[in-house]
Structure 1
Amino acid sequence: MSKSTPTTTIRDDHKYWKCKQSFTSGSTCDEKNEMSEKQCPACGSKRDVIDEALDVYMRKIGTIFMTDANGKEWWQYNS
């Protein structure tokens, strides 16, 4: 599946995000959150690189490609 050019514009079908924070135990958070949540309520991590973009059906539609020095999120969507 091809990827789009990274963008700071959130797509209309991007409704949720999945926290992919890794822990020293080797586990991953995997909590699904509303886009209005910039920080995961389950583990306290801020949204960051490799967190997943999810649609209304909780299907992965992309990931955070990078967060710039100003904290702006660059999302890369599956085309």
Structure 2
Amino acid sequence: MRHKLAGYLAKHITKDFASHKLNEKRYWTSRGVIVPEVMPIDYILSDDPATALKVAFDAARLVGASLERCEMFWRQELGAL
């Protein structure tokens, strides 16, 4: 499905390419689409990847996000990647 979406976008972004000036906008967002407000839930202040990932998971868990599909990357019971 993603390749179909990518093909669709590429077709319309490159459509009439020669008729536009350099750096002229060739696409617009859909009208009427409600864009959600960005809500930071935590700040990651660690350069250590494992610590940064733990902070991100803890923050996601704190706001009730489902980590169901992330389990293949994070072994919660071991506390490690």
TM range (shorter): under 0.3
Structure with greater proportional strand content: 1
Larger RCO (alpha carbons 8 Å, 6+ apart)? 1
Largest Rg, 1 or 2: 2
**TM-score, scaled relative to structure 2:** 0.19
Structure with greater proportional helix content: 2
